[in-house]
Structure 1
Amino acid sequence: MKPSATPQEQQVQQTSQPQEQLDRSAGTDQETVEIQQVCFMLAGGEYGIDIALVKEIIKPTMDPTP
């Protein structure tokens, strides 16, 4: 765990580890595991989220700077 992680990040990392181990033991693709971990973190540590909401959260904002 990186030392600069906030308490919320630490909690997400701790709660995501069992799911990560389950996915790896089930023989899932590494890319799928990474996608699930990102969705898990974006959801604040809860599954069962709307993918449209995730897309809205990660949509880049390209406002021009003066």
Structure 2
Amino acid sequence: MAKDIHFSDTARTGLFTGVTKLADAVKVTMGPRGRNVLIQKSYGAPHITKDGVSVAREIELSDTLE
């Protein structure tokens, strides 16, 4: 598989976009008033959690740069 190498603004904006998407998904679970999140996989029953790490692990971004 070929590797994509990105430099400067392209790399910075792509990485920033990915981190922002991840932070938006995880931030609702943080703190004493954190909300529950429903994680639906392609198999099995949905999983309800308040754990930000579980939410972050389940996120798959379509762009490899993100």
TM-score scaled to structure 1, two decimals?
0.36
Q: Compare the two structures and name the one with the higher strand fraction.
A: 2
Q: Compare the two structures and name the one with the higher helix fraction.
A: 1
TM-score scaled to structure 2, two decimals?
0.36
Larger relative CO (CA 8 A, sep 6+): 1 or 2?
2
